[in-house]
Structure 1
Amino acid sequence: MTSNMRLDAAGPSFPARRAALVAAAVLAALGLLLGSTLTGPADAAHAAVSAAKPDKPGKPGGGGGNGGGGGSGGGGSTELEYAAVGDSFAAGAGGGSYLDTTCYRSSKSYPKLLDGDADKVLVAFPACSGADTSDVIAQAASVPTTAKVITVTVGGNDVGFADVMQNCFVFVTSSCASKIAAGAAIVDSQEFADDIALVVTTLRQRAPDAKVIVAGYPLLFWENGSGVNPKYAWADEVNDETVALNDRIQGVVEVNGGVFVDVEDDFDGHGIGSSDPWINDRNWLSLSTSFHPNATGYLAYAAAIREVPLQ
């Protein structure tokens, strides 16, 4: 499928060179957020900024956790040490109020929302946009061995999330179908299953007493009664592949002793194109928010994770 969509609004007289520069900038920005990958432990260490939080009068013990695993502060606190690893959906990209512009960690991310609960204190938050399973395994080094709760969202970058978004929804190229098919093949592969399993087992080995909670992905696009998104022709195929991705991750996670949280139902009726979207649509001026949950979406993520008994 090809597209007649233009980046320029000035018509044929718009200088071709400037249009090319705009297109290059768009691809670079999207690649940074959606498709960049960390290269190893050094990048993971850079991403593991302090997750220290100020005292919160409404919380027992008043907080006091930090990225180095300092634990909860104050006498008699019942807070469990909590670490959050993963990709852009774990970091909170799209939620706004960013804590950094390298990983797009957001103060409105589900880890920071869960940090506000009375029973948890966020002691490590190395989640980073662009991370795949190998990067999350590297992030595990930032998790305190005393952590009792670890949340994860990962797998989308392994199956080519950025390639699909770029070719199916940003520019809509003739490569869209092949990118979706390539991602589907990876989902079905034993290598992908092994990589997800290694994430879970690595985290369980790192923090033996921790409950490892893997949160899946929402369906990005709303579909009408005919199974069609009025704006995007490839929306239904991508939604179907997201279901397959979540199912694959869930099966592997549960076999390896983790807990899977499926957020598909939580986001039902709130995809791109709905009357009340919890997913950010394509935004040429702010690609860092495109195709990721907004602040309301991360509230839904946090609420779904809270349903998991921690003890």
Structure 2
Amino acid sequence: MMFGRRDPLAAASVEAAPERRRRIALVAAALLAALALVLGASLAAPADSAHAAVPMAKPVKPGKPGGGNGGGSGGGTTELAYAAVGDSFASGVGAGSYLDTTCYRSTKSYPKLLDADADKALVAFSACSGSDTADVIAQAASVPSTAKLITVTVGGNDVGFADVMQNCFVLPNSSCATHIANGAAAVESDAFAASITDVITTLRTRAPAAKIVVTGYPLLFWENASGVNPKYTWADEVNDETVALNDRIQSVAQSGGAVFVDVEGVFAGHGIGSSSPWINDWRWLSQTNSFHPNAAGYVAYANAIRAVPLS
């Protein structure tokens, strides 16, 4: 111990503390910036019109009658021309194997899985990560008038999906409840119902003979017998609001003559925190995939859509 003199090592440590704090703040800011960039790209960013569609020209698939040529006719005589529009849940975010890094369309998405069916030919795949209803209306321009089947998943970004994920699960803070309440109010609003109606009307105008299939969203979080997710405090609240969102979309879609596919049941027991999750949990090193279905989840989506009669 030294009296009357300042320990040079201690002094250096004290003098370096502000610099360390500055570096920590810079690292935190960089992480937040990266988070905002990824959430913006995969959860809430508007669709980039320059990447609004993926060319559908493709080789003949073994065992598929007539193959597929990507044209409006849908290939062989037994194939229905199929178009897929929507947000990140329609583009396949979470499954990996991406065709692009703007919209994150995946080869394992439910539209691509349905394209492998003998009776469907994917002639337009304009679904894009971050899209809201206005973006999907713009995507409709890629849908050929000869389409006989159109699938669409949309609505989550209109009610603040990214805000809830960021403030309740990624970096939980006191604004979480406000974001959930804002989303719930948006779901019940006349404006939200009108936007879903506009999507269906636009698609029907674009392809009058098409069957329009609107899918809902899975409940992201597994809950135990007490209705609690062991990891996330706000999981049950978000699940409840997802049910309300699905109910609202279903009501509007069916009123507009579309078919609604509810995936809550098929995903039951496979949310985040379950022993066999079909939803990706948050990962800093895999941010794009977080809070979206994995490959098994998109198989479940495709199977639920396959249950809809095409005639």
Question: Structure 2-normalised TM-score?
Answer: 0.91
Q: 1:126 matched to which residue of 2?
A: 126
Q: 2:74 aligns with which of 72, 75, 100?
A: 72
Per-residue CA deviations over 1:140-174 (Å, capped at 9, x if unaligned) read 01000000000000000000000000000100011
Q: 1:24 matched to which residue of 2?
A: 33
Task: Please tell me whether the aligned partners of residues 44 and 126 of structure 1 are also in contact (alpha carbons under 8 angstroms).
Answer: no
Structure 1: 4+ residue segments shifted above 4 A: 11-14
- Report the count of equivalent residues: 292
Tell me whether 1:197 sits opposite 2:197 in the alignment: yes
Q: Equivalents in 1 of 2:202, 2:169: separation in Å?
A: 35
**Larger mean Cα displacement after TM superposition, 44-53 or 199-208:** 44-53
Q: Equivalents in 2 of 1:73, 1:155: separation in Å?
A: 32
Q: Post-superposition shift, 1:188?
A: 0.3
Q: Post-superposition shift, 1:73?
A: 3.0
Q: Equivalents in 1 of 2:227, 2:197: separation in Å?
A: 33
Q: 2:142 matched to which residue of 1?
A: 142
Q: Equivalents in 1 of 2:72, 2:112: separation in Å?
A: 17
The correspondence of residues 1-311 of structure 1 with structure 2, limited to 5 A, is 15-38=24-47, 43-44=48-49, 46-65=51-70, 69-74=71-76, 77-311=77-311
Q: Post-superposition shift, 1:44?
A: 3.3
Report which of the two has the higher share of helix.
2
Q: Post-superposition shift, 1:126?
A: 0.3
Q: Post-superposition shift, 1:15?
A: 3.2
Q: Equivalents in 1 of 2:160, 2:300: separation in Å?
A: 25
Per-residue CA deviations over 1:29-83 (Å, capped at 9, x if unaligned) read 1122101113xxxx43532121222210110001111xxx433335xx3000000
Q: Equivalents in 2 of 1:118, 1:95: separation in Å?
A: 23
Q: Equivalents in 2 of 1:36, 1:164: separation in Å?
A: 15
Task: Please tell me whether the aligned partners of residues 52 and 122 of structure 1 are also in contact (alpha carbons under 8 angstroms).
Answer: no
Task: Please tell me whether the aligned partners of residues 250 and 260 of structure 1 are also in contact (alpha carbons under 8 angstroms).
Answer: yes
Secondary structure in 2 matching 1:61: coil
% identical equivalent positions: 72
Q: Post-superposition shift, 1:28?
A: 1.5
Q: 1:8 matched to which residue of 2?
A: none
Q: What 5-or-longer segments of structure 1 have no aligned partner?
A: 1-10
Task: Please tell me whether the aligned partners of residues 51 and 103 of structure 2 are also in contact (alpha carbons under 8 angstroms).
Answer: no
Q: Post-superposition shift, 1:101?
A: 0.4
Task: Please tell me whether the aligned partners of residues 223 and 236 of structure 1 are also in contact (alpha carbons under 8 angstroms).
Answer: yes
Please provide the CA RMSD for this pair: 1.4
Q: Post-superposition shift, 1:14?
A: 6.8
Aligned amino acid, residue 190 of structure 2: Q
Q: Equivalents in 2 of 1:240, 1:113: separation in Å?
A: 29
Per-residue CA deviations over 1:160-197 (Å, capped at 9, x if unaligned) read 00000000010001110000000000000001001001
Q: Equivalents in 1 of 2:102, 2:41: separation in Å?
A: 9
Task: Please tell me whether the aligned partners of residues 109 and 298 of structure 2 are also in contact (alpha carbons under 8 angstroms).
Answer: yes
Task: Please tell me whether the aligned partners of residues 197 and 253 of structure 1 are also in contact (alpha carbons under 8 angstroms).
Answer: yes
Q: What 5-or-longer segments of structure 2 have no aligned partner?
A: 1-19
Question: Structure 1-normalised TM-score?
Answer: 0.91
Q: Post-superposition shift, 1:207?
A: 0.2
Task: Please tell me whether the aligned partners of residues 75 and 121 of structure 2 are also in contact (alpha carbons under 8 angstroms).
Answer: no
Q: Post-superposition shift, 1:121?
A: 0.1
